[in-house]
Structure 1
Amino acid sequence: MYNLTMLDANGDPEFMTSLARGLAVLCCFADEQRPMTIAQASRLTGLSRPATRRCLHTFVRLGYVAQAGANYTLRPKVMALGYAYLSSSTLAMRAQPLLDQLRDELHESCSLGVSEEDEVYYVARAEVSRIMSISLRVGSRLPLYCTSMGRVLLSGQSKESQRTYLRRTKLVALTPHTQIEPGNLLALFDHVANEGYAIVDQELEIGLRSIAVPVEGPDGIVAAVNIGVQAARITMAELRSRYLPPLRKIAAELRVLVANARP
């Protein structure tokens, strides 16, 4: 959730507060995934209702938001903002056909994620039709500490960076299996770094297992690739024996791409 009260501009004279307010309002639609009122957007962003109203009025005038009575919804024009990143990200574009092939081969959903603002951002995804309470797509965000891609991304950070992340993060037990003890999580990050992959067993959602591997660049881990499976169908041993090798193959192909990418 993007709450502007959490942002500290540190007296930066170049910082555009009005732009930050507008982006905060726009982002709250993604968090809620439903029509919003001025009052709801004001509560989510920490902005006053008059400021929120002006932001929404501006987005309506620009064609990014539609108004129906007291409710506001996003318009298709908003997709251009996300597409600008996807169309310029060589890694996401090259990963998509590889993920599609892996999905067709294993009949499981697979994703590419990067770390941004203490979350995993999904930048490419190939999905099969499964029933899950968590709906994932390109642009989805999940916590780092309890996801396989998140733990891979954290494993590439320094020990101090990991500790700092754990101190500033609210560690919530999303299921009875979720690991939230900082010392145990630090040990898990070490294990992932040593083994070169992470497995999360029903810590994000009951019935869901996932396995992820790092995509490395010249300066360390730049992304992670994962496969998510239903725990009732796929054992932990199968994740390692059947799913880990093709994941590592994709990661190796993407590593070559990153290494050869132009500055």
Structure 2
Amino acid sequence: MALSEAIPVEEPVRPSEFVEALAKGLAILECFDAAHPEMTLSEVARRVNLSPAAARRSLITLQTLGYVGQRNKRFHLRPRVMTLGSAFYFASRLDEVMQPELRELVQRFGDASSVGTLDGHDVIYIAHNTVQRQRRAAAVVGARYPACATSLGRVLLAGLPDCELEDYIATVQPQALTTKSLTDPAELHREILAVREAGYATTVDQLDYGITALAVPVRGVDGRTVAALNTSGYTGMVTPESLVAERLPTLRMVAARIGQSIERYPVLQSVIGN
């Protein structure tokens, strides 16, 4: 997946207590990815829009704390970074709530199943189960992809209030991840409205070749979409029509159970619902 040289960051209103140095450090941790596993100081600085001096101070701090390593003037993440994500994963009870449901779907239909939430223009995968082995875009826990290119993301976008969806359409710049990727914002808007009307989304080869997926919303007790659940298979072996005919009722039933489970866990309700 192509990424711009600098990580785009939405600028929320910052309170007076906002710690700029901490924000810079977190931005540096987030700028490492599959396409940039190792970077020089200047590359890191460019990716997070910092001066080399500011980036160097943050990198030295992160290196001292054990989150970043260095080899031949190139920086890389160290395993300690995983403690940040695992703390959220276990504290929020994600494994306890999500995995039994995803395993049931995979045992019944094969292929793969995921749960995701919306973060800005992206969808973040918070749970995943699969029997698939073919090399393609990985839907592992913590993976982050453009919402417009995934069935999960389109369901989540469809669940936004009109004003938030309009803001998204006005600012999104969809990338052509495959030759089938939907890149026209107006066409994307129409697709999301159709998803809202249907109550589900299907995609074929939008994020990567070989992925055909069906997703439905996971709703809270107030009816608001708080997450999305999908099932996916290999393009050519499944079609959107076959997924809808064979899996949609079960997918909706499991999504309803996940929504009910979220309500029973206050921490999970808070982290997913906000």
TM-score by length of 1: 0.91
| 1:51 counterpart letter in structure 2 | A
| 1:159 counterpart letter in structure 2 | D
> In the alignment, what sits opposite 1:238?
242
CA distance in 2, matches of 1:154, 1:5: 19
Secondary structure in structure 2 of the residue aligned to 1:189: helix
CA distance in 2, matches of 1:253, 1:146: 26
Change (3 A) 1:51 1:128: same
Matched, 1:181 2:184: yes
> In the alignment, what sits opposite 1:116?
119
Secondary structure in structure 2 of the residue aligned to 1:142: strand
Q: 1:251 aligns with which of 212, 235, 255?
A: 255
Question: Cα offset for 1:185?
Answer: 2.2
TM-score by length of 2: 0.87
Q: Bigger CA drift: 7-16 or 27-36?
A: 7-16
CA distance in 2, matches of 1:205, 1:5: 22
Question: Cα offset for 1:222?
Answer: 0.2
Give me the CA root mean square deviation: 2.2
Aligned residue pairs, count: 263
> In the alignment, what sits opposite 1:169?
172
Change (3 A) 1:203 1:7: closer
Question: Cα offset for 1:140?
Answer: 0.5
Change (3 A) 1:11 1:73: closer
- Map 1:104-253 to 2 at 5 A: 104-219=107-222, 220-253=224-257
Matched, 1:52 2:23: no
Please tell me whether the aligned partners of residues 173 and 183 of structure 2 are also in contact (alpha carbons under 8 angstroms). no
Change (3 A) 1:90 1:217: farther
> In the alignment, what sits opposite 1:82?
85
Please tell me whether the aligned partners of residues 101 and 258 of structure 2 are also in contact (alpha carbons under 8 angstroms). no
Give a deviation string over 1:167-201, Cα, whole Å, max 9, x none.
11112222232223333322222221222110011
CA distance in 1, matches of 2:229, 2:243: 14
Could you tell me the percent identity over the aligned residues? 33
| 2:263 counterpart letter in structure 1 | A
> In the alignment, what sits opposite 2:272?
none
List runs of 5+ in structure 2 lacking aligned partners: 270-274
